[in-house]
Amino acid sequence: MRRVEPRPGSIDYQALALSAEEGFLLSRVEGVTDTRELVALTGLPPEKVDRIVDRLHALGVVSARDDATPRRESFLPPPRESAAPAPAHESLLREFVEWGETPRDDPAEAPQGSEAPQRSPSVAAEGSQGELAEEATQDDLLADTDPAEPESEGDQLAERDYRRVYEAVFRPMEADARAAHAATAAGSELMALCLDPDPRVIYAVVHNARTGLDHFRFIALWHRTPQGLEHIPRESARDRQVERRLLRNPQLSEQMLGRILGPKRLLDVYKTAIDREVPERTRQKTRGALLQRWSKAAPEERVELLLTTEGRCLILLVGGTIDARSVQILCGRSSFTTMFVTSVVRFSAAPPALLAHFAKQPLVRRNPALRKLLLTHKNLPGDAKRALQGL
């Protein structure tokens, strides 16, 4: 990733003979802007953005410098506790150790190369407006998450280690016996029991006095029953990693989803609705929740969502409306981006007052494509339409 900023001084842009894409990308550079933001703002593929930045840098229009990406830490199991295993399982654990497969409970024993891979957003060169809406905000969504991403290499290594403990020690036991042992287990045994598929065992793990955030994160990542996931306490579900892993779990129930989305801002609900790492079933439920929250949200919160997403959120708000107070706030602004105007004009329920305000903007009057698009909207007032047709 590189940081791009315009060079100071007067530049004759007409003499540079920039292409349409180069000129459009240059118009998105305001202050210090990184290439990841340019991908989101322009909808262009990352490779093309890099080529255009190289050309603009060679022409002396912008300055570009590399920016180091923060290191992502992998998941590490908790240290081994001093509590001894249950006597009934000592022989099995001793056999497990003799295999040479001792689980890594000490963070110092974790493999050095288990750094989580960097996730980059998938941005298509061309696509529908809905695809652009999802891809354009994907980077912002990932930037707000914790450094340790779900299902990193470290998570998978830990899961394999604790899975071996579970298969060797607990798989032969009855569910009731596993649940009874989970209430007092510690160390590797407690982490291994987080992989149990029975909700009763998960309930016992959750109520174990030694259970902490690492155990809840493990349950949220690997457990696959809605009943077991609902045992995670409300206060623990507010942890960023627990929340992200629950959202990406395909068995997340509607009740648990509502508990997660309840305290969130409208913008955060929208980010969840377009996150491609969230299962489609969960995204569909989140879109329904987004429409309900939109109808009850304060005008200032609605305007924040519209401006932050440049109107792309309206694709998911079919059946919703923009209230009069939000229109009043938007009409108080003197400038808009091309993407924002385009997104609002394509919204069938766009308010006439806002469309008339767009018709007065120099951006629309100078752009034939925007004028044509605005003239086709059924809500555009007659006097504004005649003014535009006279240009």
The DSSP symbol for 190 reads H
Q: What is the pTM of this model?
A: 0.61
Whether 172 is covered by a domain: the verdict is no
Q: State whether residue 270 is helix, strand or coil.
A: helix
Higher pLDDT, 55 or 12: 55
Task: Name the burial class of residue 359, with classes exposed (0-12), middle (13-18) and buried (19+) by CB atoms within 10 angstroms of its CB.
Answer: buried
Overall domain count for the chain: 2
Question: Which of 30, 46, 66 is where one domain is finished?
Answer: 66
Q: Cβ neighbours of residue 304 under 8 Å, at least 6 residues apart? A: 266, 267
Question: Which of 66, 96, 111 is where one domain is finished?
Answer: 66
Q: Of 233, 198, 199, whose CA–CA distance to 216 is shortest?
A: 233
pLDDT in tens, 69-112: 443 333 334 444 434 444 444 444 444 444 444 444 443 344 44
Whether 287 is covered by a domain: the verdict is no
Given a cut of 60, whether residue 177 has pLDDT beyond it is yes
Whether 84 is covered by a domain: the verdict is no
Query: How far separated are the first and last CA of the chain, in Å rounded?
Result: 43
**Identity of the highest mean pLDDT range in 52-56, 105-109, 129-133, 151-155:** 52-56
The DSSP symbol for 250 reads T
Give the structural domain span for 27. 2-66
343, 369 contact by CB (below 8 A): no
Tokens of 238: 């507010």
Whether 28 is covered by a domain: the verdict is yes
Whether 21 is covered by a domain: the verdict is yes
pLDDT in tens, 131-149: 444 444 445 544 544 444 4
- Whats the size of the chain, residue-wise? 391
Q: Of 246, 243, 207, 206, whose CA–CA distance to 223 is shortest?
A: 246
What pLDDT sits at residue 67? 66
Tokens of 75: 């998941």
Question: Which of 66, 87, 106 is where one domain is finished?
Answer: 66
In the chain, pLDDT over 90 holds for what percent of residues? 53
Q: Cβ neighbours of residue 100 under 8 Å, at least 6 residues apart? A: none
In the chain, pLDDT over 70 holds for what percent of residues? 76
Whether 26 is covered by a domain: the verdict is yes
Whether 377 is covered by a domain: the verdict is yes
Confidence band, pLDDT 50/70/90 cuts, at residue 14: low
What pLDDT sits at residue 119? 41
Whether 241 is covered by a domain: the verdict is no
314, 344 contact by CB (below 8 A): yes
CA angle in degrees (0–180, nearest 5) for 346-347-353: 105
Q: What is the C-alpha separation between 339 and 153, in angstroms, rounded?
A: 38
Residue 89, number of CB atoms within 10 A of its CB: 18
